[in-house]
Amino acid sequence: MESAIFGLIGVAFGAYLSAFKERWAELRREDKETEYLTVQISSELELFAARCAGVVKDDGKVDEDGLRKPQLPDPKFDPMQLEGVDWKVLPVDSMYEILDIPFKLEIANQQVLAVAAGKNPDDYNINVYTEKTSPWELVESEQGEIISQTPIANVYLESASINNAKASDVTMTVYSVRYNIDCLAAKNSKIDNGKKYTGDELAAREVQRVARLIRNILQSAVYRRLNYGGIFNNRSVSGITMFQPQFGVSPAQHTVGCRIVYTADITEFSPEYEAPILDLIQGESTRGDDGKVLFDITFPEEYVNSFKGPQFGIAGIRKIMNIYNRPLIGCIAKPKLGLTATEHAKLAYRVFIGGVDILKDDENLTDLTFDHFEKRAHFTIHLAKKAERETGQKKMCVLNVTAPPQEMLKRTRLVKKLGGKAVMVDIVSVGLDNVQMLRSENLGLIIHGHRAGHSMFTKDPKHGMSMLVLAKLSRLAGIDQLHTGTVVGKMEGEQKEILAINRFLKSKWYKIKPVLPIASGGLHPGMMPKLYRIFGQDVIFNFGGGIHGHPAGSLAGAQAARQALEAVLRKKTLKAYSKNHLELKQAMEHWE
C-alpha cells in the first residue's frame, strides 16, 4: 500500500515536474521572443527617429514662387505593417505606446498645418484612447480636481452587423459598423478682459472644437484607430451630441463631453479569395478633350494588401537566375510562326550557349499543328538544362500558356512538371482575373506578362486607360515580369511615361513585391549603351531580330548582345570592345 502511495506521488510529481519544465521552456521561449521583438521594433523606431531628425534639419528649397518647400517627405511609421510581431508578447504599456504612434503623427501633421495657417499648434494636441469605460477620469478626479487640461478622445465600437444584401458567403463580408467617439475637455474658470468665463463654458467650447477636428480626420481617410481592416465605404458622421460625464450619481464639475456617432460599411475579403480588381476603381482623367481616360489610379493599403501580387518579384527572379548585378538578356524565338517544336528548341539552345539568359515564345505562339505546346515544352526545357550544364549559367524558357482557363492551367502544370522556371500569359487576351487564378495556384513559376493588344485602350486620347493603370492592375494580379516599352526601337514610347511605369513597378507598394520591367521590340546590340543609360540594371532587354538577324546567325547574335552588355558594364565603348570581339563588330557593321 505504502509503495503504491509513493508510486502515485512519484507519478504526480513527475507530471508536475514535466509540466513545470514545459512552462519554464515556454517562458524562456517568450523571453527570447520578447528580446527578438525588442530588437526588431527598436531598429524600426530608430529608423523612424532618424527620418524625423532629417525632417527637422530640412531647411527646404525656395521654389519659383519664392516659397520654401520641404525636400524630405513626412516620416511614416505603421506598426501594423511589421511582419511577424506578436504584440501580446510585449508589455502592455509599451505595446500601447508603439501602436499609438500613427495617431501622434496624425496630430503632429495637424499641428504643422496649424502653424502654416497662423494658428496655435497647441490647439491640435489631443490624447486618444480606445475602449475606455470612464475616460473622463483621465482629465478630472472624482473629487473635482483637474488632472489634465489636454483634451481627450475615446473611440469605442458600439455595434457591427453583417449586411447580408451585399455580403457573399465565400468571398467577402460587408459590415455596417457604428462607433462612438467621446471627446472630453476640462477647464477652470477664468477672467479675460474683465469678463468671467465659467469652467464648463470653456470646456464646452473646447470639446466642440476638438469634435470638429476629429470629424474632419474621420472623413478625410480610413482611421486606423477603428481597429478594422478592409475597405471603408459610405462613411459618415451621423450625429454629434453634448453630454455631462458622471461620477456615479454626481456630475463632473469641470468636464464636458461631446459624442460623435460615426457609421460606415466595411468590406473585408476572405483570405482564400482576392478582391475584384476593377469593381472599386475611382480615377480622374488627366488627358483628352471630350472623352475620359483613366490616366492613373490609387488604392487604399487594405485593398492592395488583399492581393497576392507577384510570387517572386525582382529579388526572387534574380535568385532563381543567380544574376544580381546586371540586366537580364532575353530573346524571342523568331520567326514567331513557322518553326517546328524541334527547331524551336534547337534555336533556344543556340542562343542560350551564346549568352542569352531568357528565351521566350512570341505572343501568338501557343499550340499549333506543326508546333504543339507539349512537344515544344518538353524539347525546349530539356535543351535549356543541357545549356545550363555546359555553361554553368541559369537559363529560363518562357513558354506561352495563353489559352482558356482550364487549358492554361493544364499547360502551366506541365511546365512545372518538366522543371521549367516560367510561363507567359497575354494579359489582355486572358484577362486579369485569369492571371489571378494562375497566381493563386502557387505553382512556383515566374509569370511573364505580355501586353499584346493594349494599344486598343492605352493609345486613344479619348478612350480607355493608360499603360500605367494596366501596369498597376497587373502587379496586383500577380505578374512578375511585364513588357512596358523601350524608349528606342520599334516599341518606343515617350521616355517620361515609360520610366514612370518602371519606377512604379520597382517601387515599394505596401506588401506587394516589385515587378521586373521588360524592354522589348526592335532592339539590337548597338543600342545597349543607351538602353543601359536609360533603364539601369533592373530590367530585361529582349531581342528578336536584333539577335536572329545577325549576319552570322542566331548564335553569333546572342554572343554580340552579351558582348555589348559586357562592354557597357566594363565602361568601354562598343567600338573599342568590338576590336577583340568579332560577333559584336559584325553586329555594329550590320545595324549601323
Winning range, highest mean pLDDT, from 269-278, 486-495, 526-535: 526-535
561 and 547 Cβ atoms separated by less than 8 Å: yes
Residue 80 in domain: no
CA–CA dist 88, 164 (Å, integer):
33
CA distances from 530 to 332, 500, 533, 536, 568 (A): 21, 18, 5, 10, 10
Instruction: Cell numbers for 225, please give them.
Output: 484607430
| 515 and 575 inside one domain | yes
| 378 and 511 inside one domain | yes
Active site residue 450: yes
pTM of the model: 0.59
Nearest Cα neighbor of 183 from 160, 165, 207, 204 is: 207
- pLDDT band at residue 9 using 50, 70 and 90 as cut-offs: very low
Q: How many CB atoms lie within 10 A of CB 53?
A: 11
Whether the pLDDT of residue 107 is over 60: the answer is: yes
Residue 83 in domain: no
- pLDDT band at residue 224 using 50, 70 and 90 as cut-offs: very low
Residue 206 in domain: yes
Number of domains forming the structure of the chain: 2
Q: What is the pLDDT of residue 299?
A: 83
CA–CA dist 264, 260 (Å, integer):
13
Whether the pLDDT of residue 514 is over 60: the answer is: yes
pLDDT tens-digit profile of 171-190? Answer: 567 778 888 999 999 998 88
| 269 and 311 inside one domain | no
The CB-side HSE value for 360 (13 A sphere, CA atoms) comes to 33
Report the SS3 class of residue 348: helix
| 249 and 306 inside one domain | no
Percent of the chain with pLDDT over 90: 44
| 466 and 399 inside one domain | yes
Instruction: Cell numbers for 405, please give them.
Output: 482557363
Q: Is 231 exposed, middle or buried (0-12, 13-18, 19+ CB in 10 A)?
A: buried
Give mean pLDDT, residues 161-175. Answer: 67
| 389 and 527 inside one domain | yes
- pLDDT band at residue 130 using 50, 70 and 90 as cut-offs: confident
Domain boundary among 273, 292, 314: 273
Give mean pLDDT, residues 425-432. Answer: 92
Give mean pLDDT, residues 201-206. Answer: 91
Q: What is the pLDDT of residue 378?
A: 95
Q: What is the pLDDT of residue 131?
A: 81
Residue 70 in domain: no
| 389 and 531 inside one domain | yes
CATH code: domain of residue 134: 3.30.2000
- The residue ranking higher by pLDDT, 334 or 74, is 334
| 261 and 322 inside one domain | no
Q: Please tell me which residue in 187, 334, 513, 581 is annotated as part of the active site.
A: 334
Q: Please tell me which residue in 254, 395, 450, 483 is annotated as part of the active site.
A: 450
Instruction: Cell numbers for 195, please give them.
Output: 469678463
Q: What is the mean pLDDT of the chain?
A: 81
| 205 and 246 inside one domain | yes
Residue 84 in domain: no
Q: How far from the centroid of its chain's Cα atoms is residue 270's Cα?
A: 18
Q: What is the pLDDT of residue 97?
A: 67
77 and 44 Cβ atoms separated by less than 8 Å: yes
- The residue ranking higher by pLDDT, 305 or 276, is 305
Report the SS3 class of residue 261: strand
414 and 377 Cβ atoms separated by less than 8 Å: yes
Winning range, highest mean pLDDT, from 62-66, 110-114, 392-396: 392-396
DSSP bridge partners of 426: 450
| 358 and 498 inside one domain | yes
- pLDDT band at residue 278 using 50, 70 and 90 as cut-offs: low
Instruction: Cell numbers for 259, please give them.
Output: 459624442
- The residue ranking higher by pLDDT, 98 or 141, is 141
Residue 6 in domain: no
Whether the pLDDT of residue 286 is over 50: the answer is: no
CATH code: domain of residue 504: 3.20.20.110
Residue 106 in domain: no
CA–CA dist 140, 17 (Å, integer):
50
Strands 172-186 and 152-162: antiparallel
Instruction: Cell numbers for 128, please give them.
Output: 486618444
Respond yes or no on whether the N-terminal peptide bond of residue 335 is cis (omega within 30° of 0): yes
What's the domain range around 184? 126-273
Q: Is 7 exposed, middle or buried (0-12, 13-18, 19+ CB in 10 A)?
A: exposed
- pLDDT band at residue 324 using 50, 70 and 90 as cut-offs: very high
468 and 295 Cβ atoms separated by less than 8 Å: yes
Active site residue 334: yes
Residue 4 in domain: no
Strands 516-520 and 68-69: unpaired
| 248 and 310 inside one domain | no
| 491 and 573 inside one domain | yes
